[in-house]
Amino acid sequence: MALTPEVTSVLNEQINKEMYSSYLYLTFADYYEDRGLKGFANWYEIQAKEEMDHALAIRRYLLDNDFKPTMEAIAKPDKVFDNDLAPLEAGLEHEEYVTSLIHHCYEVAHSVHDVRTMKFLDWFVAEQGEEETNARDMITNMKLFGCDPKGLYDLDREYQARTYVQSASLNL
């Protein structure tokens, strides 16, 4: 059964949003790199890779369903940060926005009874929940421990330990 134009349109748009997310998180990594906080920079570089994986998974889904996606222009991230908490707060705000986009994709699929796409999007719905939790935890940690140099150093070491693992559930 072919995907409907409503569904292909929102999914094609979501590829662009995920690529923008990747781009945005690279600017967060750049901020922390400049500050000498390589652990935080590492965390966001990995986040950028994950966001690209999300874009590629949606692209693959469209291709596998006989739809040729269009790669649109990616917006330029325009946020400027002046303290170490600001990117973390911007990260939570962005993830909440992406959650709303994923939920919209789901609602569009539901409205045309596209069960296959709803099932495909289940992974993204769960992933967004995890990403919002991570973003909230990072803000809490920064507020609790980031205000003295030793606490910030320990947090940076913790985020340095994050390694990139491609999700086995994503068909890339």
Interacting residues with ligand FEO (CB under 6 A): 18, 21, 51, 54, 95, 98, 128, 131
25/77 Cα distance (integer angstroms): 9
34/31 Cα distance (integer angstroms): 5
Question: Interior CA angle at 138 toward 13 and 37, to 5°?
Answer: 95
C-beta closer to ligand FEO: residue 121 or 152: 121
27/21 Cα distance (integer angstroms): 10
C-beta closer to ligand FEO: residue 34 or 137: 137
CB of 83 to ligand FEO, least distance (A): 23
Say if residues 135 and 129 touch (Cβ distance below 8 Å). no
CB of 98 to ligand FEO, least distance (A): 4
C-beta closer to ligand FEO: residue 87 or 152: 87
CB of 149 to ligand FEO, least distance (A): 31
